[in-house]
Amino acid sequence: MKPGIHPDYHPVVFQDASTGTAFLTRSTMTSSRTIDWQAPDGVVTTYPLIVVDVTSDSHPFWTGNRRLLDTAGQVEKFRRRYGPR
């Protein structure tokens, strides 16, 4: 790999906004929010926190539950534009 052309790839904690479940992985994303993460050996480290709307913990395909996730009001916007159907 050429030096100096790739983004910083570092550990980041992603947290599901609806369930609160968090997992540690590596990413190029950054955040000003941080979280203290305890490793299985008991060591606590501070990592950047990225909060996401949907993860496999809350997605209907993976959970088997049917849920309406309408964070942007798309259904109401459609009904206002085209009327009730």
Does residue 54 register a pLDDT over 90?
A: no
Residue 71 located in a structural domain? no
Which range has the top average pLDDT, 28-32, 66-70, 76-80? 28-32
Residue 20 located in a structural domain? yes
Going by the DSSP 8-state scheme, the letter that residue 14 receives in this structure is E
Residue 36 located in a structural domain? yes
Round to whole Å and give the CA distance between 51 and 71.
14
Secondary structure element (H or E) that encloses residue 82, with its range: helix 74-82
pLDDT attached to residue 63: 61
Global pTM value: 0.66
Residue 21 located in a structural domain? yes
* Among candidate residues 18, 13, 29, 15, the one with its CA nearest the CA of residue 59: 18
Does residue 10 register a pLDDT over 70?
A: yes
Residue 80 located in a structural domain? no
Comparing 78 with 42, the larger pLDDT belongs to 42
| Overall average pLDDT of the 51-71 stretch | 68
Does residue 26 register a pLDDT over 80?
A: yes
Count of structural domains within the chain: 1
